[in-house]
Amino acid sequence: MNTTTPPASTTHYPAPPKSQKIEQHTLSVLVDNEPGVLARVIGLFSGRGYNIDSLTVSETEHQKHVSRITIVTRGTPMVIEQIKNQLERLVPIHRVIDVTLTGQAIEHELAMIKVRGVGDERAKALGIANDFDARVVDDTTESFIFEVSGATDKIERCIAALLPVGLIEVSRSGIVAITRGVEGMESRATG
């Protein structure tokens, strides 16, 4: 059996890229709260063919007129890095943090779930809602609207459990995220 290694290649071309795994990342973006900022951020994604899995935005510091945009996106590590670099170049953006890389992020979302509720199905729906700590926000003689919050997988499991009972409609907020600890987003280094 020959165990010698072949001679090194003398080509000037780089080695072909190894296939990279697609990853999901949550980016927290601090921006000036002014007209057109969200359109510019979304335009960056659509113009380059990047996908947004979830998007939430709200003003977080009223006195400073600053908003936080939370974007969940997918791509190879190289694509995620490109997205962050391109976001940081947009003028109204103060900071971009990849909360996935911090390892200390809390990510939650909220869902409102409308379910039929008559007879035995009514009791089943209430039982399932109780199992997921869902709150009844609307109750008629024929339906419920439950509000459930938590990690995305909890929301998915709740929806799946309510599906056979008589799921009618779901409305979801999208993911919001914040890092644990005493540092705020303004004091964190970009990641």
The encoded tokens of residue 13 equal: 């071309």
Please say whether the beta carbons of 94 and 87 come within 8 A: no
- Please tell me the predicted confidence (pLDDT) of residue 62: 84
- Please tell me the predicted confidence (pLDDT) of residue 1: 53
| Residues 154-189 as b or e (16 or more Cβ within 10 Å = b) | bbebbbebbeebbbeebeeebbbbbbeeeeebeebe
Sites in the chain below the pLDDT cut of 50? 189-191
- Please tell me the predicted confidence (pLDDT) of residue 13: 57
- Please tell me the predicted confidence (pLDDT) of residue 114: 97
- Please tell me the predicted confidence (pLDDT) of residue 184: 76
Determine the Cα–Cα distance for residues 88 and 95; give it in Å rounded to an integer: 7
Q: What domains can be seen in the chain, in order of their start residue?
A: 23-103 (3.30.70.260), 106-176 (3.30.70.1150)
Instruction: Count the neighbouring beta carbons within 10 Å of the beta carbon of residue 67.
Output: 19
**Per-residue pLDDT tens for 175-185?**
999 988 887 77
